[in-house]
Amino acid sequence: MAVDSFATATAALRALVDEADRYLATLPGPGVADVRAGVAEWRQGPVTPAVATTANSVVSAHLPAALALLGLDRPTLSLAIAEAAPALDWVSYDRYPPADIGPSFARGHAYARIIGDGATIPARDFDLGLFLIAPHVLYRDHHHPAPELYAPLTGPHGWRFAPGAPLIMKHAHEPVWNPPDEPHATKVGAVPFLCLYGWTRNVDLPARVMPADDWPELEDLRLEP
């Protein structure tokens, strides 16, 4: 990476952390303060922009639409994400057995750590990142020891907090706090799911899928825009 582009990417990543924290400060509910405390602890760390080799296909296909929607009501955050996105290392979560998590989620999501182990800003046992899922994908019921804040930047999307329970619709900017090992699932609506997420501890412990017998109908379901 050339010196100029390194400096530009570094500035974009710092600006994204600042903008994400400003956004989190506007949200109600549990977990927001915990994530902001982690951001405050780690935000001054060194920044290492990712050197993208090939574009992530989920990001190419769905991030522009998600950011266009976000730009309607949070234009500065949308712009900050757009400018930092090329300097982030977008990957798939690879710790689920493929048969458990299913092919549509496995092929239909990407996430990028902004702060965390191996991220642009390194941190111990704390993650802040962006999470993107294609429209209509079901992120099957799962749980993990990490306490987790989702701050959805698009919506509406469907949620549930017990396998087999009915979906609850939540709009953009309605945060979801998942205490350690509490089950949760997300059914993406008609628009791409984009969120800021925070894991406040236990980030190295894997997530696990929880079986439910209604996945086929939820995977076929098309939620209204």
What does the binding site for Fe ion look like in residue numbers (CB under 5 A)? 148
Smallest distance, Fe ion to C-beta of residue 192, A:
18
Q: Do 12 and 85 form a contact (C-beta atoms < 8 A)?
A: no
CB 105 → Fe ion: shortest distance, Å? 12
Give the residue with the Cβ less far from Fe ion, 149 or 172: 149
Residue closer to Fe ion, measured from CB, 8 or 202: 202
The answer to whether the CB of 153 falls within 8 A of the CB of 194 is yes
SS3 content of the chain, % helix, strand, coil (to 5): 35, 20, 45
Tokens of 138: 């079901």
Q: Rounded to an integer, what distance in angstroms lies between the CA atom of residue 203 and that of residue 39?
A: 15
Residue 199 Cβ vs Fe ion, minimum distance, rounded to whole Å:
8
Give Dmax over CA atoms of the chain in angstroms. Answer: 53
CB closer to Fe ion out of 49 and 102: 102
- Report, in Å, the least distance between residue 161 CB and Fe ion: 11
How far is the C-alpha of 115 from the C-alpha of 175, rounded, in Å? 19
Residues 200, 31 contacting (CB under 8 angstroms): yes
Helix (H/G/I), strand (E/B), else coil: 211? coil
The per-residue b/e assignment along 99-121, b for 16 or more CB within 10 angstroms, e otherwise, is: eebbebbbebbbbbbbbbeebbb
Tell me how far, at minimum, the Cβ of 144 lies from Fe ion, in Å.
Answer: 6
Nearer to Fe ion, 1 or 205 (CB): 205
Q: Which CB atom, from 141 or from 148, has the smaller least distance to Fe ion?
A: 148
Q: Compare residues 136 and 144 and give the one whose CB is closer to Fe ion.
A: 144
State the residue number with the nearest CB to Fe ion.
148
What's the min distance (Å) between Cβ of 19 and Fe ion? 23
Nearer to Fe ion, 127 or 148 (CB): 148
Q: At what angle do helices 3-24 and 75-84 cross, to 10 degrees?
A: 150
CB 85, CB 55: distance < 8 Å: no
State the minimum distance, in angstroms, from the CB of residue 115 to Fe ion.
Answer: 17
Round to whole Å and give the CA distance between 185 and 138.
8
